[in-house]
Amino acid sequence: MPGHCHAAMASMERRFRKTKSSEYRLVDPDDRSAYLSVQSWKDNAVNPCINSTYAFAGKVMDAVKGMATILVLLVKLGYT
Residue-wise pLDDT tens digits, 15-73: 999 999 999 999 999 999 888 888 888 888 888 899 999 999 999 999 999 999 999 99
Residue 1 reports pLDDT greater than 80 = no
Q: What is the pLDDT of residue 50?
A: 94
Q: Evaluate the CA torsion angle 19, 23, 29, 34 in order and state its sign.
A: negative
Whether residue 4 is predicted with pLDDT greater than 80 in this model: the reply is no
pLDDT score of 67: 94
Determine contact, residues 47/13, Cβ cutoff 8 Å: no
What per-residue confidence (pLDDT) applies to 41?
Answer: 84
- The residues spanned by each domain of the chain are 6-76
pLDDT, residue 37, reads 82
